[in-house]
Amino acid sequence: MAVRQATAHINLDAVAHNFDYVKELAPSSRVMAVVKANAYGHGAVQVARKLNAEAYAVSRVSEAVELREAGVTGDICLLEGVMDKEELNLASVYELQVVVHSPYQLSLMKKAGARRPMWIKVDTGMGRLGFSLEQVKGVVSELRKQKVAGYMTHLAEASDPASEVTAEQIAKFQSIPAVQGQVLSIANSAGLVAHPDSRADWVRPGIMLYGATPFDDQEPMVALQPAMTFSAPVIAVHAVRAGDSVGYGGLWTATADTRVAVLAVGYADGYPREIKAGTPVILNGERRTIVGRVSMDMICVELTPSDKTEIGDRAVLWGEGLPVEEIARASDTITYTLLAGVSPRVNRQYRGEVNRG
Ligand SMILES: *Cc1c(COP(=O)(O)O)cnc(C)c1O
């Protein structure tokens, strides 16, 4: 379909490589591959089919249903659990595992006599979802007849390897008498890479499967292969005179006569409007910089006099030759928001796809 369109080329072999790296780092852990948010923009169904993992994690019931309808058979865990009877019913129909993080979910499960395998979420410092350390004992005694898949906690500061909070959270979790000797899951990508003692029975890598760093420094990790190359076609090339401005707000004004290429990609495709002046793209193998504001559907790039840019040439926005980490730094954000933000209107093209069902 539509070749001349903003496109995310997804290399599923890279995802498989990164998955193997996870298993290399944590050989005695089982892997719950996190494919929420359409696998961080990479296509949850395609990624799940490729990995054939023991388990997958998503945030929403609708995400789990999509995977099941596509024939994905591994365990699927709802990281936020279910909110009401309707969702619990779907969890039963589609055979999902549910995280239980709040008392209301506990009574929902009990009232419905639900037999879904449950992950009990414990809050050891994230301050978001989960039972407190004090509550856990009571929860466990209420659970007698239910199937407990395991106990889960989430790390708040693993993206900063220097933070002492991670070690404190791990110690807190392991100190709870009720969870000792049980199936435990602690690590996200950053924990898994930087804190060996967070690996536990199950690891829950997300971002690293897609080849992007989980760490705050936004430096590419050499052990990972980036899975997405985001590109867009040139739809116009024109001359700009010294003193003329380009784009909304006249943010950029040419200081000399020059030329500009217009690319068909903008913030509605997921290219961040917040990028700083001078952010690069790669056009015909060369770095060129964005000038003026990012519009909803377009960005402009300054050309050099010798550039032979033609309509239809593709520019790489991030991916091959231009790490997504670099664009994250240029827009004061993290790899996660860029990858997960690539919008549905962007065409996805797959390499290494496994077709099933
Ligand atoms: C998103 C998420 C993960 C994966 O985190 P990454 O940093 O992408 O590896 C793991 N566990 C939970 C509970 C999550 O919400």
Does 36 qualify as catalytic in the annotation?
Answer: yes
Q: Which of 166, 204, 207, 174 is nearest to 187 (CA)?
A: 204
Asked if 217 and 201 count as a contact pair (C-beta separation under 8 A), the reply is no
152 conformational bin, left if phi > 0, alpha if psi -120 to 50, beta if neither: beta
**Per-residue pLDDT tens digits for 211-250:** 999 999 999 999 999 999 999 999 999 999 999 999 999 9
Q: Is residue 99 in contact with ligand 1, taking CB distance under 6 Å? A: no
Say how many Å lie between the CA of residue 34 and the centre of ligand 1: 7
Q: 166: helix, coil or strand?
A: helix
Asked if 2 and 347 count as a contact pair (C-beta separation under 8 A), the reply is yes
Q: How crowded is the C-beta side of 286, counted as CA atoms within 13 Å? A: 12
Q: Which of 269, 266, 270 is nearest to 337 (CA)?
A: 270
Element (H, E) at 40: helix 36-40
Q: Give CA angle at 35 (33, 36), nearest 5°.
A: 135
Q: 100: helix, coil or strand?
A: strand
Q: Is residue 188 in contact with ligand 1, taking CB distance under 6 Å? A: yes
Identity of the amino acid at 300: C
Q: Is residue 335 in contact with ligand 1, taking CB distance under 6 Å? A: no
Does 111 qualify as catalytic in the annotation?
Answer: no
Q: Which two tokens stand for residue 89?
A: 């019913």
Straight-line distance from the first to the last Cα atom of the chain, in angstroms, rounded to the nearest whole number = 22
Q: Which atom of ligand 1 is closest in space to residue 158's alpha carbon?
A: 7
What is the residue whose two structure tokens read 């300054």?
302
Beta strand 118-121 with 148-152: parallel, antiparallel or unpaired? Answer: parallel
Q: Which two tokens stand for residue 236?
A: 């116009």
Q: Give CA angle at 219 (267, 263), nearest 5°.
A: 25
Can you give the pLDDT of all 357 residues of the chain as single tens digits? 556 799 999 999 999 999 999 999 999 999 999 999 999 999 999 999 999 899 999 999 999 999 999 999 999 999 999 999 999 999 999 999 999 999 999 999 888 877 889 999 999 999 999 999 999 989 988 887 778 999 999 999 999 999 999 999 999 999 999 999 999 999 999 999 999 999 999 999 999 999 999 999 999 999 999 999 999 999 999 999 999 999 999 999 999 999 999 999 999 999 999 998 889 999 999 999 999 999 999 999 999 999 999 999 999 999 999 999 999 999 999 999 999 999 999 999 999 999 765
Nearest residue by C-alpha to atom 3 in ligand 1: 188
Total-model pTM: 0.96
**Per-residue pLDDT tens digits for 330-343:** 999 999 999 999 99
